Amino acid sequence: MSPVIILQEFKFEKGKIHDVNFFSTKKSIRIESSDLTELVQANKIQSLKFYGIVWSNLSKLEKDYLLPDSVEKLIFYCNQIDFIKTDFFYKFKNLSMVVLNYNQIKTIEIIKFDSNSISDLNFNHNKLTTFRIIYFGNSKSHKNFKINLAYNYLENFPNVFGNLASVPYLSIEFQRNNTIFNNSIKSYDVDKNFTKIGNLIMENYTDLDTLKCFKEFYSVNKIFIDNSLVTFENELGKEECLDKFFPEISNDSITNMTSNNTTISTGINYTITSSNKMNTLISFELSQIASTKWAGCTPRFPQVHYPNPDPPVVSEVMQEDCPANKFKNGYDAFRSTFSIRNYFSMCYVQGATIGDLLVGHLRKLVLL
């Protein structure tokens, strides 16, 4: 029997937690185009690797006890999520992917993760204005680990803390607020040690001194604009940046400083160096589609073929599922994953409930 269950247009009784633990041997559960407002209970399915609820009405992620610790991929795009509990993801020690695109998230104070397998955190196309802290209890990640915060309204750069030495890629492209760098510098805490950012991906920005100091304060190794590496003619050190933005701070209180007399020059030239590798790794372009209540996600019900769920690997994105999620050049943030050639489908079964399934009243079960 197939290790995958997919429920499409499935009607759930409102106001209750639905238990799907009777699918006891499944590796993947995916629910789409439903009226669900709560997570379904699957905490006893210890074989479960993929858990997805999309094109539905989830509004909060807080009841992590409804899911087993074994889950590796959590896919929640095209919902109405506006709240995430601080430690919702922390229990999943093998978590590799979180997809939260096209939701209604405005504020995240703190969010925590603790998985050495983490490879993709995707928050793009929300309404984020405030994202204060991302904390990693883990010390390792995938070598191409990406945090995608593109297409939001961020007013501050998130502070990345924890045991993780570096985040290889972080995208803040296309923010509807152009004050993110100035605000982030003004709120910078000189006593904090941030996790290093390997490659920061952004769109064009003209205040080069501000960008240089942002790079210094927030431990950014490289900055890419339009997928091309920015090389500054002259870098600014932390002391110079502190003198520029925090002149009231006494140098006596700052360690590893040698002088406070360096002159800050403005308008320093910079060069753009092409990088095909970066184009391959992180370049993407989203298609433009009509707006719906899912903030850009248009529900569709194609016949799709999912990659083999065993072993769990990142594979081609299911582009036919959500036209808003079409990427190019190999970007795999939505590469979700688990399904096989033969699986249960509840496609187009109107008015069916889990109770119907249990008592055998469904007549439109299709074995594909």
Taking only the tens place, the pLDDT of each residue in 22-70 is 998 899 999 999 999 999 999 999 999 999 999 999 999 999 999 999 9
Domains annotated for the chain, with CATH where assigned, are 1-112+290-368 (3.80.10), 135-285 (no CATH)
Report the percentage of the chain scoring pLDDT > 70: 66
**pLDDT-derived band of residue 361, with 50, 70 and 90 as boundaries?**
very low
- pLDDT (0 to 100) of residue 296: 59
DSSP bridge partners of 273: 229
pLDDT band at 86 (very low <50, low <70, confident <90, very high): very high
Q: Which pLDDT score is estimated for 145?
A: 97
Instruction: State the average pLDDT over residues 342-351.
Output: 37
Q: How far apart are CA 365 and CA 121, in angstroms?
A: 34
The tokens describing 299, both together, are: 């529900």
Q: List CB contacts of 99: < 8 A, sequence separation 6 or more.
A: 73, 74, 75, 76, 77, 120, 122, 333, 334, 336
* 140 pLDDT tier (thresholds 50, 70, 90): very high
pLDDT tens digits, one per residue of 239-250? 888 887 777 654
The span from the CA of 274 to the CA of 277, in Å, is: 9
Strands of the chain (E only): list them: 4-8, 28-32, 50-54, 60-61, 73-75, 83-84, 97-99, 107-113, 120-122, 130-136, 146-148, 159-162, 166-171, 196-202, 220-225, 228-232, 270-273, 344-345, 366-367
Tokens of 326: 């079409």
pLDDT digits (tens, 9 = 90+) for 199-241: 999 987 767 888 888 888 899 999 998 888 888 877 777 788 8
Residue 74 CB neighbour total at 10 angstroms: 22
Integer Cα distance of 290 and 259 in angstroms:
56
Return the amino acid letter for 332.
Answer: D
For residues 199 and 221, give the distance between their C-alpha atoms in angstroms, rounded to a whole number. 6
CA angle, 269 then 274 then 280, to 5°: 140
- Write down the pLDDT at residue 2: 65
- Taking the C-alpha atoms of residue 278 and residue 272, their distance in angstroms, rounded to an integer, is 13
pTM to 2 decimal places: 0.72
Stretch 3-14: mean pLDDT, rounded?
Answer: 89
Angle between helices 208-217 and 238-245 (to 10 degrees): 120
Residue matched to tokens 């000189």: 190
- Is the pLDDT at 323 greater than 90? The verdict is no
* Gyration radius (Cα) of the chain, Å: 23
Least confidently predicted of 73-77, 239-243, 248-252, 265-269: 265-269
Scan for tokens 């939001």, then name that residue: 152
pLDDT at position 29: 96
C-alpha neighbours within 13 Å on the C-beta side of residue 154: 27
